[in-house]
Chain A
């Protein structure tokens, strides 16, 4: 009976109900109304008993007071909740966010003016030399690159990067620079980084199609300390970079200090004229890099094969001295899963022996083609697999086939002037490399390359066997 009447009363939607949204308030209201309803029959049965009626009124007043108190308590609780949420929202505006995902670990200030990213670049290589052509090279597992990476932004306009390398038993700083991005047409970079010359050298170590770079990269600077202005222009249709550097030998990262008062001047222009539209030519890029400087006091360059064996040694008493010019025309073309990269390097470098200076020309080229079998889009950067490697659920990652041909040559004068021995140092190399890359996911890559390098020039034409190597790499990269 009571329950039915109570439900009826509730159904009538008394005005007081509007005040209560919480369970507590509804409970209080139910109690108050129930008591009020219960008291109604009693009053009807004793209409002439005034003291009883007063008691009922008093009870109603007390109940009303209780309801008011509960109403206030509910409202206070709700308001406190609102204030707590406002305070939390306000706090969030000044609190840094921390994320961990495929791009590494990131700490970001509100608004993004301050940012720190911690990443890593790990490459473990298994080198297996075939036959006897590699001479003293031994099969080995080697930690090719072990590079923790710290990069980010400070004061909104300044990016920074710090990346040491602990691979191959050495400790060296590879990148340490700050870049002021205040003017969109002239970003100023200061520190140690890749000078703007070679196309494949400027490609990230994790994005190269093959486990080791091609022969033109033997003729360019690897890292150097200096200043650089660079920018993307015309909606990224053009990129320019000009810089002044200490100067380093070919394929070297230098000694973190200049060895003479001379400086190297580098410049590069790279055009992607069909960007940003998506068409058959939007993946075309052509460019030209160059540097000029002086080799006085520098170490002699060390040229290496695909198997990372030094194949050329200068004669005793030879030092680097004189002018150095590097020219590097370059291009790539990407269309869907297909990729083509071509580069030519021409160097003229000064050497000295017995007080006589000579300039020697070196030339190298490479052409590489690749095709991603699983259909991902090939580009200057590594592809992201459509489906990460997870065979049990139909994911096989991205698979790529690639081939490269290349050549390296020093002019004959290198023997004629006594700068190298025709008996021990070949002045001509020809390589070809075939490879299979498996991008298991955004972070992890397994790559297997087979490389064959033929040596020639001088007295070696007939008696130095080719280097043949299978190079297997396991790579983890999150930056």
Chain B
């Protein structure tokens, strides 16, 4: 047998064993707390599309928790093929500490790898008995605010920064007054959960607090589940544009041989179908067409970005959320 023939046969054998011997392709999506329901629908839709396109079955597992906690798990060895976390800094951490993906990961997909956006709103009890309309109402004495811990939750960090940004604007950029405002706000927080879903449980199921600082999508999910006779969503006058990012975890995907399907999975989030699923789960779509179609689901609110007010996540993280940062000072004091 010629050597070339031998290698061709060996290659065919290898390819055959890969294609027919491995079963369905398996992906692990490590995500943040409130995306459970979103990715259940995304996964089903993508698996169907992938099967139709390639003939290969794909099984996608989900892991959820506080965004930073999830990033820590990936750094510690959780075998995520893709991460869909609450904020870019957490994926930066994976790149920096575990070198599982390149530092420029955010440039690989449109919109800085954030296929959908969200914001921070208030969930209050039916009838809004404490008359909570805007951020100022959260610092009133006697108002109990429920929010997760910014040290472990991405949503909590967005909420903290939203409050800070509001206070800055109200006080003409006076940073000291902004800190006083946020300090007063967190004095009204009786319990810190580790993630957004835990805070929703605290507020909705345990009946604690007058207002829940929450992701917009999580608040509407609670509204759908609990009913309008139990809770109401209040949109503040100003909030932050939350941009939850996504990325393939290159080294893990390469090790699993899932790079191609992982990329396709994340690209699916930008398709019309992926954007519609997101919108149905109250994530604000990037696609103008889908955004227009679902415009009535989202309140019009003035939004600022983290870059505009805080100079990006790296700066915000270092000043506010690192150990010994402003949050530690105001909450532990």
Pick out which of these stretches binds chain B: A74-82, A220-228, A252-260: A74-82
Q: Are A79 and B202 in contact (CB under 8 A)?
A: yes
Q: Are B194 and A72 in contact (CB under 8 A)?
A: no
**Shortest Cβ distance from B69 into chain A, in angstroms?**
9
The answer to whether residues A72 and B208 also contact, given A79-B191, A80-B191, A83-B191 and a CB cut-off of 8 A, is yes
Q: Are A75 and B208 in contact (CB under 8 A)?
A: yes
Binding site for A on B (CB under 8 A): 144, 190-194, 198, 202, 206-209
Nearest 5 CB-CB pairings of A with B: A76-B190, A75-B208, A79-B191, A79-B206, A76-B191
Complex Cα distance, B202 from A75, in Å, reads 9
Interface centre among B191, B192, B207 (most CB of A within 10 A): B191
Complex Cα distance, B208 from A78, in Å, reads 10
| A87 CB-CB contact with B under 8 Å | yes
Task: Determine the chain B residues whose CB is within 8 A of the CB of A76 once the complex forms.
Answer: 190-191, 208
Instruction: Please classify the interface of chain A as helix (H, G, I), strand (E, B), loop, or mixed, using the class held by over half of its residues.
Output: helix
Task: Determine the chain A residues whose CB is within 8 A of the CB of B206 once the complex forms.
Answer: 75, 78-79
23 intermolecular pairs with C-beta atoms under 8 Å apart: A72-B144, A72-B190, A72-B208, A72-B209, A75-B206, A75-B207, A75-B208, A76-B190, A76-B191, A76-B208, A78-B206, A79-B191, A79-B202, A79-B206, A79-B208, A80-B191, A83-B191, A83-B192, A83-B193, A83-B194, A83-B198, A86-B194, A87-B194
User: How many residue pairs, one in A and one in B, have C-beta atoms under 8 Å apart?
Assistant: 23
Task: Determine the chain A residues whose CB is within 8 A of the CB of B208 once the complex forms.
Answer: 72, 75-76, 79
Task: Determine the chain A residues whose CB is within 8 A of the CB of B144 once the complex forms.
Answer: 72
Complex Cα distance, B129 from A72, in Å, reads 15
Task: Determine the chain A residues whose CB is within 8 A of the CB of B198 once the complex forms.
Answer: 83
Complex Cα distance, B87 from A370, in Å, reads 71
Give 16 new A-B contacts, CB below 8 A, not counting A79-B206, A83-B192, A83-B198: A72-B144, A72-B190, A75-B206, A75-B207, A75-B208, A76-B191, A76-B208, A78-B206, A79-B202, A79-B208, A80-B191, A83-B191, A83-B193, A83-B194, A86-B194, A87-B194
Binding site for B on A (CB under 8 A): 72, 75-76, 78-80, 83, 86-87
Minimum CB distance partner of A78 in chain B: B206
Complex Cα distance, B105 from A434, in Å, reads 76
Task: Determine the chain A residues whose CB is within 8 A of the CB of B191 once the complex forms.
Answer: 76, 79-80, 83
Complex Cα distance, B198 from A425, in Å, reads 83
**Shortest Cβ distance from A72 into chain B, in angstroms?**
6
Minimum CB distance partner of A71 in chain B: B207
Complex Cα distance, B194 from A182, in Å, reads 38
Complex Cα distance, B199 from A79, in Å, reads 10
Complex Cα distance, B206 from A87, in Å, reads 18
Complex Cα distance, B193 from A310, in Å, reads 74
Complex Cα distance, B118 from A46, in Å, reads 59
Complex Cα distance, B208 from A80, in Å, reads 11
Complex Cα distance, B190 from A78, in Å, reads 12
